[in-house]
A and B are shown apart, each in its own frame.
Chain A
């Protein structure tokens, strides 16, 4: 019992740093891509390709650069999270109603204002969906971090499976499961809230 909490905290740390890095890099990149179609197509091919790399192969490859530690898993999560974050943010930003944007221009908004007051707020629920997907899948991915010597709940799960020790396995699997449901639910609530507000402000 005593080692579950530290393992859980390290699991959360790995998950969040990885997704956070993807968000920090992904949001501005997606905004930039709205006006750069060629670059967008190219970048999306790369991001799609990353998504198809099996996790152990990815970890082994990243390990060669970052070594046997949490950083490798964080970088792997970052790379895998680019797909949902970048794609959702781009689609969210690009699918904002043209009429609304023209209206903004009509009342003399600058490009920056249009982005921060129209595009971004309207795309926010979509962006949040991308982040939610990243976090939930990253929680799962972080369990494989044990194979390159990283911390987290993976150790309990894999050692439990190997030694057919159900208790040990569950002590790792159940927290991952609960965390995934928790984030799914909490971020889902935010999304709903945002959607509601948008509908209100439109009507």
Chain B
């Protein structure tokens, strides 16, 4: 009897705590992400894309724990979509062993089919990049060593100092053992160290070859090149957005938007994006927005149709295009007009004896026409 009281008290406490947070499902979609830059960045990119292209309100739950947290949260409806990798889904979510010889197409097909059947989730088509393990060598030393592929490296492996993170050595088939078995590597030296130190060591040439992730922004920072895995030892980790089916039924318009980026981000682009956040320390929001706008997936006005550029903003666009700064221009005229039911700015200014004319879309900031003519000198 008394034990029962304790249990009741315990449950009452839990109930009280759950009320404190004032939960309750909000409308719209919730985008989640795992806790590393690339995944957070892609979560943010999808969040902004949905916000710009649809009227669906978006909630962000970025930087969650690993795959387990994201997937369970998605199953439970705490998040509706997150960015997943085919190798991870195949191995960790669907419990298939990642054996050598299975192609990336096969893995993708299994993931799409079984995630749909087992978890009622849709894995969209991959974006194009493959964030897997790779052996990287300093770009400037490729010729000196005469290597392009892992098979090339194996022929000189007895002169190579090799380094990798601890996890790489513990992987059954596709880690260090795989390198030795598949390519017959016999490295001169083999070191284990923290990933963050590896890049520095390859850069200073203390190590000749290191294990990296193919989309890491640090590859760009330290100017490293990934060798081609010509015997496909490393399993594919193609990135794709994973969304619960009921959300797609509730918001059918989502399907098109989630397909927009399929095949559009390759390894280099992803490296570049990661680089901007990790090394240039720019905010995830800013990098995501810039990527979407500069590739034309969204325009600035998607978010707010009533907003148009100010005169100063379009002038800056024109100056930038002309390659001058604002103090150099003279005789500046800016006029807002409507041409063919499009609001445009007509801009004129003089610089260095030339007259510049620009027509700029007032909503998108796009330059519609430009001209540069020798100024007519006043006749005497």
Residues of A within 8 A of B (CB): 17, 21, 24-25, 29, 32, 36, 39, 56, 59-60, 63-71, 74-75, 78, 146-149, 155, 158-159, 162-165
Residue contact B64 to A68, C-beta cutoff 8 Å: yes
Tell me, in angstroms, the Cα distance from A125 to B37 when the chains sit together. Answer: 46
Residue contact A36 to B2, C-beta cutoff 8 Å: yes
Chain B residues with CB below 8 A from A56, complex form? 65-66, 69
Known: A29-B6, A158-B63, A162-B37. A71 touches B72 (CB 8 A): no
* Residue in B14, B16, B36 whose Cβ sees the most chain A Cβ within 10 Å: B14
Contact among B14, B16, B17, B69 for A148, CB-based, below 8 A: B69
Residue contact A163 to B63, C-beta cutoff 8 Å: no
Closest 9 interchain pairs by CB? A147-B65, A71-B21, A149-B61, A68-B78, A67-B78, A69-B21, A163-B278, A68-B61, A60-B69
Residue contact B18 to A155, C-beta cutoff 8 Å: no
Chain B residues with CB below 8 A from A65, complex form? 14, 18
B305 interfacial by beta-carbon distance below 8 Å: no
Contact among A36, A71, A148, A162 for B64, CB-based, below 8 A: A148
Chain A residues with CB below 8 A from B14, complex form? 65, 75
Q: What size tier do the contact residues of chain B reach?
A: 20 to 34
- The B73-132 residues at the A interface (CB cut-off 8 A) are 73, 76, 78-79
B68 interfacial by beta-carbon distance below 8 Å: yes
Q: Is the interface of A mostly helix, strand, loop or mixed?
A: helix
Chain B residues with CB below 8 A from A17, complex form? 17, 20
Chain B residues with CB below 8 A from A78, complex form? 13, 17
B3 interfacial by beta-carbon distance below 8 Å: yes
Residue contact A67 to B23, C-beta cutoff 8 Å: yes
Residue contact A25 to B65, C-beta cutoff 8 Å: no
B379 interfacial by beta-carbon distance below 8 Å: no
B180 interfacial by beta-carbon distance below 8 Å: no
A63-B76, A63-B78, A162-B37 are known contacts; what are 11 more A-B pairs with Cβ within 8 Å? A39-B3, A65-B14, A66-B23, A67-B78, A68-B79, A74-B21, A75-B14, A146-B35, A159-B63, A163-B37, A164-B278
B9 interfacial by beta-carbon distance below 8 Å: yes
Contact among B6, B17, B72, B278 for A74, CB-based, below 8 A: B17
B277 interfacial by beta-carbon distance below 8 Å: yes
B10 interfacial by beta-carbon distance below 8 Å: yes
| Residue of B whose beta carbon sits closest to that of A70 | B21
Chain A residues with CB below 8 A from B295, complex form? none
How far is the CB of A85 from the nearest CB of chain B, in Å?
13
Residue contact B35 to A162, C-beta cutoff 8 Å: yes
How far is the CB of B287 from the nearest CB of chain A, in Å?
12
Known: A67-B78, A68-B64, A68-B79. A147 touches B69 (CB 8 A): yes
| Residue of A whose beta carbon sits closest to that of B60 | A149
B281 interfacial by beta-carbon distance below 8 Å: yes
How far is the CB of B30 from the nearest CB of chain A, in Å?
8
Chain A residues with CB below 8 A from B18, complex form? 65-66, 71
How far is the CB of A32 from the nearest CB of chain B, in Å?
7
| Residue of B whose beta carbon sits closest to that of A155 | B63
A-B contact pairs, 16 of them (CB 8 A): A39-B3, A60-B65, A63-B78, A66-B21, A68-B32, A68-B79, A71-B18, A78-B17, A147-B35, A147-B65, A149-B32, A149-B61, A149-B63, A158-B63, A162-B278, A163-B37
